[in-house]
Copies of this chain bind each other. A is one copy, B any other.
């Protein structure tokens, strides 16, 4: 018997007291100095990322319910980087963290099945992954098989946090409905499928909704009542905690906010100057968790 992903995530959020997630974006050039020694070539860099990542996960594990490793920075380091990604997914799970793999994969049929196998399935797979819905249900359903069978989840890109998001996602039909709302309806319908909605009423099919668009987030909250929103854009991308709050239900549930750079590279921030890097990360993670918990009435 496998637990439903949405249930597991919401339970973890309650246990830690804040709906937040730390993004693991290992830009080698931003790692603390110690990890930059002898750090030439992909193998050495991937090893540095692996060691740094383990220590980072140990720091944040008591503070936050989930982490979101960003596959791109690992892939940049070739096969050794991918090995480090897989290692850190496993280590995070061992530390009791939920892992939301930010891979934004998308393809169809058996190719999408291969991606689901690669990134979601089995003991080495993440708890959930991000997927891109441009290909329609064919691109998402193969992932849902694994979600059902193994208690995993997906977050479908609905409204991304970047400045040019409206150029595609605000494309509107004759009634004024925009593409991101149309995609939201598809996500809501897919998420209602058999075996996906947990005991708390949320689906294992979630949505990515950028914090930089609070008005859109409020509309999406109504269109996708059963979706957990994964909310990027806080901190470095300019969104405030109250912008993030727009993605939550009135009871303060239903979303999880991500911060990457502002937490994991806190040692580069003036306000933590002179502090040990792990101390800086811990402080920044706690400040982030409190800021979001307060904004959604949970602290």
Contact = CB atoms under 8 A, between A and B. Distances in A.
Interface of A: 25, 27, 70, 72-73, 75-76, 78-80, 82-83, 86, 104-112, 114-115, 117-119, 124, 132-139, 157, 160-169, 171-174, 179, 182-183, 186
A107 B157 CA distance: 10
A73 B114 contact: yes
B135 A165 contact: yes
A79 B85 CA distance: 9
A112 B72 contact: yes
B160 A108 contact: yes
B136 A164 contact: yes
8 contacts: A75-B118, A76-B114, A78-B86, A137-B167, A138-B165, A168-B182, A171-B179, A172-B174
Contact of A76 (B80, B118, B169, B182): B118
Contacts of A168: 133-136, 179, 182-183, 186
Given A72-B111, A105-B104, A164 B135 contact: yes
A186 B109 CA distance: 27
Given A104-B106, A135-B157, A135-B168, 12 more contacts: A72-B107, A72-B111, A72-B118, A73-B111, A75-B115, A76-B118, A78-B83, A134-B134, A171-B179, A171-B182, A172-B173, A179-B179
A114 B108 CA distance: 24
B134 A169 contact: yes
Q: How many copies does the complex hold?
A: 2
A74 B174 CA distance: 43
A259 to B, nearest CB: 14
Contacts of A161: 108
Contacts of A135: 157, 160, 162, 164-165, 168
A115 B108 CA distance: 21
A179 B119 CA distance: 29
Given A136-B164, A164-B136, A179-B179, A27 B173 contact: no
Contacts of A163: 138
Contacts of A179: 168, 171, 179
A258 to B, nearest CB: 12
B167 A114 contact: no
Nearest to A175: B174
A104 B79 CA distance: 18
| Of listed A79, A138, A186, residue having the most chain B CB within 10 A | A79
B117 A76 contact: yes
Contacts of A115: 72, 75-76
Nearest to A164: B136
B171 A174 contact: no
A275 B179 CA distance: 50
Given A79-B79, A106-B104, A169-B134, A139 B162 contact: yes
